[in-house]
């Protein structure tokens, strides 16, 4: 029987239809190894993707067959070999370790590091265990490395998290402003929709801001190859021009926003000549960008890691939102600031409280009323939830270094590749007193640092919910059994909770039960999902939130937030905020003269735990290449010949070796390295051997996008 589900790779959230390997009258569908495997095709009825899929979605079932972890494995020390153990022994051991650490370190000695690969039910159960039952807010997710600056920007400007736009806006905009996003490669189906609209409508403009001439930039009417770290200067420079041309919406600002006057004072310091010089673009380019904004009724901004992964990520996001507020480009079709999430359920994680400073239903741990509501819902005593945010991702690594963290529990992510300053991360993991690694795959780079390894069921093997970047909620049903003894993540968390005595809190018998409890905590919140249930989603297909209980018929067209131009702040007004840029946390200098920027490739996903096993994708991207401009290559003595060239890239933290790709697509002075290769996939080619953990003081998102490096040509890799 055909199953409708969601692609579990990226935040675009494309609908899929999955069919069993054998279909009447057809040859058995097989993977590249010749084994029967489920077939996948795009779901034409899915509102977000309309039947489209990229290479990752099209090959997803092949990836779920390989390198699967099937049984719990345990060892007492990292120098021992693993031995297979029963679930009983594994779960008892975690419960014992938690009790021990609470005595020796306190509850804050326990940390869990999850990921946007988890389904909403997994996230929610983990929050209840950590933040509720154990009284520590030390749950963070790899979303911290991905979009926590967008969360903080929305929170501070609008009073709540939640992307205000929907994908239908891609086809209704007059001007798409893409900044810090290679959408064509990283969110391909979003880009397909935008590109079609752009091609069909001559008046529609596309501006792309990126130091690299990516596939996205090639499609643009205007490509602004700004110097890394000058985004705020550019955005303030556009604001300066809009203000001096009187292309601002004063009535909207008077009625719906506040703090414009201070912002207006600050942007007076950004005249075109200064901004163009700082950003490394021409005045004409800057004016063209501002003119496109000024002449468009509806401007839609899209962004992702290029803005978020920055030591001033929140300031960048808020500075972009300022432009929308001053031109009233929000709350109407085709307009608004729209962050694209990296992970398939990063949005569900945000809704369920899956970061160290938040609680379910877009609540904040610092807010006493929010804590009280959640404690009550969880039948826990008043004061159980810690009033302080827990450790963010990097603070967890710091806690391992200092010994303040006594139990580190990793679920569905691979920090031994994805964290900044990877050698320091690995040293910290080596010092861990007890690490639990819960994942679908084995081996991985992080499993090598674990004491206890738990096999998790994954997409297609457990039933749960995922929310994509446009707030569309899709039920992902189980359509086959998990391999070996693998269990759903939420079941593992619940079983540990029950072993710790929280039987009432973890009496769920299905993920549908978990979801019903979760949606109650969204009642009357911006992300109200009380009208949703597994049953309804099964019957009606994907539904976009907000979807309160009162909304019984599915709304077919895309919903936007803030259409009434009221915002969830105390006074209902959105807030301007003025920022000057501090530039990069580690700018280039005499010793380290290049700025390294990192990013994704079209075919690969994160640390390759899935895509590294798919021949079609590994053929597409067989190894990592360092991109460098011909002028820089020449200065290093790397002539453009057919011969393979290699360089060693060195930063203040580490070094790595790469084949060189000489290309004018990258600006002089900047180099690019893809982030997908960990120690399992290539020798000494880890991008994060070079990166640093300096982060945004508000969002705590590390500046993975930029650091200073030197390059040494080498002959022998
Ligand atoms: Fe999956 Fe993202 Fe590709 Fe869609 S664009 S098929 S969600 S990886």
CA dist., res. 378 & res. 370, Å (int): 12
Which atom of ligand 1 has the smallest separation from the CA of 13? 7
**What tens digit of pLDDT does each residue of 129-151 get?**
999 999 999 999 999 999 999 99
Q: How far is CA 238 from CA 36, 235, 289, 290, 418, in A?
A: 55, 5, 7, 5, 34
Question: Ligand 1 centroid vs 546 CA: distance in angstroms?
Answer: 23
pLDDT score, position 488: 98
Question: Ligand 1 centroid vs 189 CA: distance in angstroms?
Answer: 7
Q: List, in sequence order, the alpha helices (H) in 268-363.
A: 272-279, 283-294, 305-308, 313-326, 346-351
Q: Which ranges in the chain are annotated with CATH 3.40.228.10?
A: 149-339
Question: Ligand 1 centroid vs 53 CA: distance in angstroms?
Answer: 6
Q: Nearest 5°: CA angle at 299, between 183 and 288?
A: 90
Which atom of ligand 1 has the smallest separation from the CA of 344? 7
pLDDT score, position 26: 87
Q: How far is CA 624 from CA 74, 304, 686, in A?
A: 34, 22, 9
CA dist., res. 384 & res. 135, Å (int): 6
Nearest CA to ligand 1 atom 4: 14
The DSSP code for 511 is: H
**What tens digit of pLDDT does each residue of 9-61 get?**
999 999 999 999 988 888 898 888 888 889 999 999 999 999 999 999 999 99
- Residue in 7, 19, 90 with CA at minimum distance from that of residue 56: 7
Q: Which two tokens stand for residue 136?
A: 């520590």
Phi and psi at 166, nearest 5°, equal -140, 165
Question: Ligand 1 centroid vs 68 CA: distance in angstroms?
Answer: 22
Which atom of ligand 1 has the smallest separation from the CA of 6? 7
CA dist., res. 305 & res. 214, Å (int): 14
CA dist., res. 107 & res. 438, Å (int): 20
Which atom of ligand 1 has the smallest separation from the CA of 16? 6
Which architecture, in CATH terms, is 149-339? 3-Layer(aba) Sandwich (3.40)
Which residue is listed with tokens 């004072």? 265
Q: Which ranges in the chain are annotated with CATH 3.40.50.740?
A: 73-146+346-544
DSSP 95-160: HHHHHHHHHHT-GGGEEEEE-TTS-HHHHHHHHIIIIIIS----EEEGGGGTTHHHHHHHHHHHSS
Report CA torsion sign: 291, 294, 298, 301: positive
Residues 6 or more apart whose CB falls under 8 angstroms from that of 62 comprise 31, 32, 37, 613, 614
Element (H, E) at 422: helix 422-430
pLDDT score, position 641: 75
Q: Which residues form the pocket of ligand 1, taking CB atoms under 6 Å from any ligand atom?
A: 7, 9-10, 12-14, 49, 53-54, 56-57, 188-189
The DSSP code for 633 is: H
**What tens digit of pLDDT does each residue of 688-702 get?**
999 999 999 999 999
Share of the chain above pLDDT 70, in %: 100
**What tens digit of pLDDT does each residue of 68-96 get?**
999 999 999 999 999 999 999 999 999 99
Question: Ligand 1 centroid vs 56 CA: distance in angstroms?
Answer: 6
CA dist., res. 99 & res. 105, Å (int): 10
Q: For residue 3, how many other CB atoms are within 10 A of its CB?
A: 17
Q: Which ranges in the chain are annotated with CATH 2.20.25.90?
A: 1-65
Fold adopted by 594-714? Barwin-like endoglucanases (2.40.40)
Q: Which two tokens stand for residue 408?
A: 């580190």
Element (H, E) at 217: helix 215-218
Which atom of ligand 1 has the smallest separation from the CA of 55? 3
Nearest CA to ligand 1 atom 3: 54
Q: What pTM was computed for the model?
A: 0.97
Question: Which of 5, 48, 188, 611 to probe ligand 1 with, by most ligand atoms within 8 A of CB?
Answer: 188
Which atom of ligand 1 has the smallest separation from the CA of 605? 8
CATH number for the segment(s) 73-146+346-544: 3.40.50.740
Question: Which of 6, 12, 616 to probe ligand 1 with, by most ligand atoms within 8 A of CB?
Answer: 12
Question: Ligand 1 centroid vs 507 CA: distance in angstroms?
Answer: 35
Which atom of ligand 1 has the smallest separation from the CA of 190? 5
Q: Which ranges in the chain are annotated with CATH 2.40.40.20?
A: 594-714
Question: Ligand 1 centroid vs 6 CA: distance in angstroms?
Answer: 9
CA dist., res. 370 & res. 667, Å (int): 47
Q: Nearest 5°: CA angle at 306, between 304 and 312?
A: 105
Question: Which of 50, 189, 460, 467 to probe ligand 1 with, by most ligand atoms within 8 A of CB?
Answer: 189
Question: Which of 7, 8, 60 to probe ligand 1 with, by most ligand atoms within 8 A of CB?
Answer: 7
Instruction: Give the class (CATH, top level) of 1-65.
Output: mainly beta
Question: Ligand 1 centroid vs 89 CA: distance in angstroms?
Answer: 38
Strand partners, 114: 141
Q: For residue 716, how many other CB atoms are within 10 A of its CB?
A: 5
Q: List, in sequence order, the alpha helices (H) in 219-279.
A: 231-244, 250-256, 260-267, 272-279
Torsion of CA 130, 132, 133, 136, to 10 degrees: 50
pLDDT at 716 over 80: no
pLDDT at 419 over 80: yes
**What tens digit of pLDDT does each residue of 649-678 get?**
999 999 999 999 999 999 999 999 999 999
Which atom of ligand 1 has the smallest separation from the CA of 12? 7
């Amino acid at each position: 029987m055909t199953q409708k589900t969601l692609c579990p790779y990226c935040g675009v959230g494309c609908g899929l239809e999955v069919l069993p390997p054998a279909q009447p009258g057809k040859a058995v569908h097989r993977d590249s190894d010749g084994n029967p495997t489920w077939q996948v095709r795009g779901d034409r009825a899915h509102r977000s993707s309309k039947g489209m899929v990229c290479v990752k979605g099209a090959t997803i079932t092949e990836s779920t067959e390989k390198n699967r972890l099937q049984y719990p494995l345990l060892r007492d020390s990292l120098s021992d070999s693993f031995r297979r153990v029963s679930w009983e022994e594994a779960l008892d051991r975690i419960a014992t370790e938690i009790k021990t650490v609470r005595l020796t370190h306190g509850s804050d000695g326990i940390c869990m590091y999850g990921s946007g690969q988890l389904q909403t039910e997994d996230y929610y159960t983990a929050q209840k265990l950590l933040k509720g039952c154990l009284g520590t807010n030390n749950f963070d997710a790899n979303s911290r490395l991905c979009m926590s600056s967008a969360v903080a920007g929305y929170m501070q400007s609008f009073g709540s998290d939640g992307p205000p736009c929907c994908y239908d806006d891609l086809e209704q905009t007059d001007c798409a402003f893409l900044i810090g996003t290679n959408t064509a490669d990283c969110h391909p189906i979003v880009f397909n929709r935008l590109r079609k609209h752009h091609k069909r409508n001559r008046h529609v403009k596309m501006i792309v801001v990126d130091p690299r001439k990516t596939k996205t930039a090639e499609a643009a009417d205007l490509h602004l190859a700004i110097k890394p770290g000058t985004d705020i200067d550019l955005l303030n420079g556009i604001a300066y021009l809009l203000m001096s041309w009187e292309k601002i919406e004063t009535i909207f600002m008077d009625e719906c926003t506040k703090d414009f006057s201070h912002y207006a004072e600050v942007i007076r310091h950004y005249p075109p000549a200064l901004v163009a010089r700082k950003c490394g673009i021409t005045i004409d380019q800057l004016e063209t960008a501002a003119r496109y904004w000024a002449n468009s009724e509806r401007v839609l901004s899209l962004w992702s890691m290029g803005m978020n992964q920055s030591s001033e990520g929140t300031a960048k996001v808020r500075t972009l939102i300022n432009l929308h507020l001053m031109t009233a480009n929000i709350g109407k079709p085709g307009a608004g600031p729209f962050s694209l999430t990296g992970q398939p359920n990063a949005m569900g994680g945000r809704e369920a409280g899956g970061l160290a400073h938040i609680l379910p239903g877009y609540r904040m741990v610092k807010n006493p009323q929010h804590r009280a509501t959640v404690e009550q819902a969880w039948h826990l005593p008043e004061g159980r939830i810690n009033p302080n945010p827990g450790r963010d991702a990097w603070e967890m690594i710091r806690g391992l270094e200092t010994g303040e963290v006594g139990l580190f529990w990793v679920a569905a992510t691979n920090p031994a590749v994805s964290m900044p300053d990877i050698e320091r991360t690995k040293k910290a993991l080596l010092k861990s007193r007890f690490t639990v690694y819960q994942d679908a795959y084995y081996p991985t780079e992080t499993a090598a640092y674990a004491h206890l390894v738990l096999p998790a069921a994954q997409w297609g093997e457990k039933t749960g919910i995922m929310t994509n970047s446009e707030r569309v909620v899709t039920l992902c049903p189980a359509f086959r059994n998990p391999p070996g003894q693998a269990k759903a993540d939420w079941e593992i968390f619940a079983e540990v909770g029950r072993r710790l005595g929280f039987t009432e809190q973890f009496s769920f018998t299905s993920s549908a039960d978990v979801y019903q409890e979760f949606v109650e905590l969204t009642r009357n919140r911006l992300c109200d999902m009380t009208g949703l249930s597994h049953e309804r989603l099964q019957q009606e297909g994907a539904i976009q939130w907000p979807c309160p209980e009162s909304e019984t018929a599915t709304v077919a067209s895309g919903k936007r937030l803030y259409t009434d131009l009221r915002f969830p702040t105390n006074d209902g007004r959105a807030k301007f905020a003025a920022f000057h840029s501090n530039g990069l946390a580690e700018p280039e200098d005499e010793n380290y003269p290049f700025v390294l920027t990192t990013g994704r490739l079209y075919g690969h996903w994160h640390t390759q735990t899935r895509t590294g096993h798919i021949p079609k994708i590994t053929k597409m991207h067989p190894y990592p290449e360092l991109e460098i401009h011909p002028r820089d290559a020449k200065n290093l003595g790397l002539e453009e010949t057919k011969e393979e060239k290699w360089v060693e890239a060195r930063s203040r933290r580490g070094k790595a070796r790469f084949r060189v790709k000489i290309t004018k697509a990258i600006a002089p002075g900047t180099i690019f390295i893809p982030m997908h290769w960990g120690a399992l996939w290539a020798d000494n080619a880890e991008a994060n051997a070079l990166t640093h953990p300096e982060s945004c003081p508000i969002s705590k998102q590390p500046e993975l996008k930029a650091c200073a490096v030197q390059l040494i040509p080498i002959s022998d890799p």
